[in-house]
Each structure stands twice: as structure tokens, then as C-alpha cells.
Structure 1
Amino acid sequence: MDVLSQVLAAMRTGRPRFLRTECHLPWRRHYPPVPGAGLHVILQGSCHLIPPAGDPIELGVGDVVLLPHGRGHEMVGDPDAPLVEVESPSGDEFRLQQHTGPGRTDGSPPSAVLLSGMFPIDETQCHPVVNDLPEIIHLPAHLGQHPPLRAAIDQISGELQHPGIGSDGVLSALLDALLLYILRAWYQDHGTGPGWGPALNDPEISAVLCRIHNNPERQWTVESLGAEAGLSRAAFARRFTALVGQPPLSYLTWSRMGAAAQILRDSEEPLGIVAQKVGYTSEFAFSNAFKRMHGAAPGAYRRRNRSLSLR
């Protein structure tokens, strides 16, 4: 599995939740902060996104907006309309619903149809691949740009218009794919800027990151990781630290604790087995490292987070 897919899987604490909203003028909706990444896709019409700070963003049909840090914001069809507060999503109540926004209900077409969603994320294990992103990512619907992303949006729109057997699972999978396409598009377009773009776009360092995430149980050393990149120990350590922002073994520990958290959320495997799967021969050493990273012992973390992964 590639590093982007792996780190997203480690951060996620549940399935994406979403809502289709038909908005009739005049309308203005406030979306509160969410514990994860927020999403809007404009399926029909146009509107504006009003961030907490900065200028409004004009949105048209096919546009995608990702709020990686879950900040609160407004979606507006008419700035003079009364503000309607959108309830924070919880459980499955944010899934496969179709709400008609305030305004005319005389059968006239809506001024905008929105697909809004959120991806639950463990904020204690939020990876730099997300932390380094801006507050708002806006991907306009330019013809011919990022074809896989556009295809995913078309599939989502079609599934919402003509739901059938298994639509819930199909939409959940499509939203997962949509998130990856958005991040791929962003990092492809910003591969030379600050943050994690250069690391993901560097073939040797990206390959090492994949090895770390795919094989956390291996007894990695700086030398063996450097060999995976085809670099000397010193050259690899310098390059890795410069691109990733921390030394190789520090990142290895961090990623192991993320993998352990995911196993604890998603399974009932004994702690000794979890420790072995992330490269620890001692359950005691594993428990201490996990508590330093997450602020709770593995067993307590599992009890607190197990139910979230089932939502």
C-alpha cells in the first residue's frame, strides 16, 4: 500500500458521513467545526463558501472543497438570508439523507445542490500529510483536469440521483476514493512547495516511507532504510530529515504508534500480538511508547476508541 493510503487509514476512526442538501433561495447555512476533514461537492448550481477569515470563495457545479482541519464555515446562496445552523454529524444520521434547505418549496428547482461530508480523524494521530495542508483546498471543475477526480464526482452524483441496492456502501467507498483523489491532485500540483509534497514526490524517500508503513514489524535501522533508498546512511538521514521534517527513526516510532492505534481500534488482538506487529518484542516497552504518544495505555485507548471504528 502506498504511503498516502496507509497514513489515511491509520488516522481514520470511522466511515465518512455525508448529506445531500437541496438549497432554494434565499439560503445561508453555517457548518460547525468537525473532528476530521470537511468536504463539499457542488452537484448543481452555485454558491459561495465564507471562511472564518479571508475572502469568500465562489463555487460552481463540479467544484470540490476540502477543509482538511474541519474548520467551521458558511455556505451561502444569499448573504442577506437568515443563517441556519447545520447540526454536527454523529453516528449514521449524517448518511444518505436528502434535506431541502430554506426558501421556496413550490416545486421550483434549487439554486444549489450540495454533497457535504466529513471524514472522522483521530486528531492525536494526525499525520503531517494532513497537518501541512492549507485551511481550504478548492479544486475548480476545469475540463480535463484530474480525470479520476471528475469521474468519482460523476459516479457519486449518479448514485445519489439513482440509488439502488448497496448505495450506502457504494457511496462510502466513493467518498473514500474522492478524498484520496483530492489529496493526490493537491500534492501533484504542489509537489515542489513547502510541506510533504516534496517527500511524496521524491521516488527514493517515498519508497522508504512505503516500506516503513507496510512493514512496521521489521527491525529497521537508519542504514537498512538508507539501503532501501539506494543511499548511504549519512546521505539518507540528511535527505529524509530535510523532506519529512524529522529523523528516520523518530518517524518510524511515530508511524508504528499510528499503526498500533489502528489495530487497537479495529481488532481484539492481544496486546502482545499488537506489539509484535509494530516491531516490539516487549509488551512493556510497547505500552510505554504507546502511552507517551497517545496519552493512554493501549488497553485504555482500545476501550475508548473501539466503538468509534464501528460507526
Structure 2
Amino acid sequence: MDVVSDAISTVRTGRPSSNRVRVNGGWATRLAPYEGAGFHVVLEGACLLLPEGGERVRLGTGDAVLLPHGTGHLIADVRADAASLERAVPFEDWRTDDAPAPHPSSEAGAVELLCGKYRLDRSRAHPLMRELPTVVHLPNRVGRHPELRSAIDLLGGELGGRRPGAGIAVPSLLDLLLVYMIRSWMVEDGTGVWSAALGDPVTAIALRALHADPAAPWTNESLAAEAGVSRPTLARRFTALVGRPPMAYLTWWRLTSAAALLRDTPDSLAAIARRVGYGTPYAFSHAFNREFGTTPGRYREHAAAPA
């Protein structure tokens, strides 16, 4: 696993959901704040996105937008006025069909969207995920992010019909879409902390090593040797870019990974302790309690409790 994959995996829970909708004329729909992340892709036409507390964004054909923190928002016709926005219909009442019948492409003002949500547990989110802005807008530009465009095309095709195997294909494509949107944002933004960390060859090598095998008996010396630099050089560059020293990051990542395993698997405490680099369940429980303020067993009970 790499850093971006791990950052997504530790927060993602359950199955994503999605709908393909088509509207025409004056319209506006409201999506309430959500414990997860929302996305929209404009397959045809143009519309407005109005996030709570943020600036409106005009979306055109081929644009993708991710709301990684589940911010409440409106999407509306580009001609919608203040009165229309006040009358916005809740999304659950607004859409009428997951796979609408095709309309003539020349239909004036028609807008076709892919809309969806990811369920996320942000209680122990990786800082890469917390760094994402309220709205990630990825405009459609020729030649930019071809893998994102391919995922959008494939997903639109699956949601546009009732094809055999769609029950497996759609969730898998939605997972790909999330990865490609985050990856594209990192390329487009270029100024974020984690874009810099993963763009620095020394820090990136160290991070990949820690994520590839967090249970290994890493030391500052062995990690510096892996990165091909001296221990002081690694410590200076890693700490400046990541925000904590290498061994502190390793401890945090081991325990964050353990929390995800407690939430998502039935594995025993001893098995989880070994997977994240602790020799005994006692050592693991002590470190976990220090980090989370509760025991692994109680954490698992709380994580498994119905919402």
C-alpha cells in the first residue's frame, strides 16, 4: 500500500452510493451535511454548486467536484435566482430515477449529472484527507487527468443501463473515482503539505517504507539507510514536511491502522498487535490507550455500535 491508498482506506467504510439524474428547466436541490464525502460529475450541460459558507462554483460539461468533508450544498440551474434557491428540494425527494430514459441531446437547458456519496469515518483521518479543501473542483480540460476521464466515462455507462455485473462494477468504479479525484487534486494544487511531502524524494521513500511494512522494527538509522541519507537529514526533511518526526509518525500510523482493523475486522487483539508492530497484546493495548484514551476492546465495541 502507498500513502494515498492507506489514507483513503483507513477512513472509508461501507459501500458508496451513486445516481445518474437528468433535469431540465428551472431547478434546485439541497443536499444536507453528510458524514462522508459527496461528489458530482456533469455529463451534459452546466449547473451551479453552492456550498454552505462558500463561494458558488459554475460546473460545465465534464467537470467533476468532490466535497470531501460532507459539506451541505445546493446544486441548481445556472439561471436560478435567490427565490429559486430558497425553494430548493431535498435531493432525496428531487430525483426520480437512477437510470433516466435518454433525451435528445439538443434539448435546451438539459443537465445530466452523476451524484454520489462515500461513507467515511473521519475520527482518525490521515492528515492528507484533512488537508483537502471544502470543495475540490476539477474542470474538464483536454489532455488533463485521462484516468479520471476514463473512470467517469465507465461509471456513466454502468449507471446508464442495467448491465450484468453492475453490482460489482459500480462500487469498484466509484472507489477508483475517489482515488483519481484526490490524485488529480494533488497534481492541480501542488502547494499542499502532502503534495510537497510525497514530492520530496527522501520523505517519499521513507513514507512508502513505513506504509509498506509498519510492523518492521524501524529505527531512525534503518529508515535513513532506506532513504539513502544520513539520520539528521532524514529527521530534518521528514519533520519539516510531515509535521512530526519519523518514529512519531510511525507510532501514530501503527495505531491508526490498528483502529481501522478493530473497526473493520474480527481479528484478535494479538493478531492486530502483530500486524502493526507490537510484540504483545499488552504493549499494544498500552500504546493504544495512550493514543486514543480507551482500550482496544472498548474502541471496537463503540465502533461496532449501531449509529
Establish whether TM, by shorter chain, passes 0.5: yes
- In the other structure, the counterpart of 2:103 is none
Q: Secondary structure at the match of 1:291?
A: helix
- In the other structure, the counterpart of 1:237 is 235
- In the other structure, the counterpart of 2:128 is 129
Query: What CA deviation, in whole Å up to 9, does each residue of 1:219-249 have, x standing for no partner?
Result: 2111111111111111100100111111111
Q: Decide whether the 8 Å contact of 2:7 with 2:129 is kept in 1.
A: no
Query: What CA deviation, in whole Å up to 9, does each residue of 1:146-176 have, x standing for no partner?
Result: 1111111111111111331121221111111
| TM-score, normalising length: structure 2 | 0.88
Amino acid at match of 2:173: L
- In the other structure, the counterpart of 2:104 is none
* Structure 1, unaligned runs of 5 or more: 89-93, 101-107
Amino acid at match of 2:200: D
Task: Determine what percentage of the aligned residue pairs are the same residue.
Answer: 43
Determine the C-alpha separation between the residues in 2 that align with 1:120 and 1:293: 24
- Structure 1 residue 58 corresponds to structure 2 residue 63: no
Determine the C-alpha separation between the residues in 1 that align with 2:270 and 2:244: 28
Determine the C-alpha separation between the residues in 1 that align with 2:159 and 2:19: 10
- In the other structure, the counterpart of 1:278 is 276
Determine the C-alpha separation between the residues in 1 that align with 2:124 and 2:166: 30
- In the other structure, the counterpart of 2:118 is 119
- In the other structure, the counterpart of 1:91 is none
RMSD of aligned residue pairs (Cα, Å): 2.2
* Structure 2, unaligned runs of 5 or more: 101-106
- In the other structure, the counterpart of 1:171 is 170
- In the other structure, the counterpart of 1:203 is 201
Q: Secondary structure at the match of 2:10?
A: helix
CA change 1:226–1:56 in 2 (3 A) is same
Of 264, 267, 280, the residue aligned with 1:266 is 264
Residue 305 of structure 1: CA displacement? 2.9
- In the other structure, the counterpart of 2:245 is 247
Amino acid at match of 1:72: G
Determine the C-alpha separation between the residues in 2 that align with 1:305 and 1:16: 19
Q: Decide whether the 8 Å contact of 2:98 with 2:159 is kept in 1.
A: no
Determine the C-alpha separation between the residues in 2 that align with 1:270 and 1:23: 50
Residue 143 of structure 1: CA displacement? 1.4
- Structure 1 residue 86 corresponds to structure 2 residue 91: yes
Amino acid at match of 2:267: E
| TM-score, normalising length: structure 1 | 0.87
Query: What CA deviation, in whole Å up to 9, does each residue of 1:56-87 have, x standing for no partner?
Result: 11111111001121111110112343211235
Amino acid at match of 1:59: L
- In the other structure, the counterpart of 1:256 is 254
Residue 280 of structure 1: CA displacement? 0.8
- In the other structure, the counterpart of 2:28 is 28
- In the other structure, the counterpart of 2:74 is 74
Q: Decide whether the 8 Å contact of 2:99 with 2:159 is kept in 1.
A: no
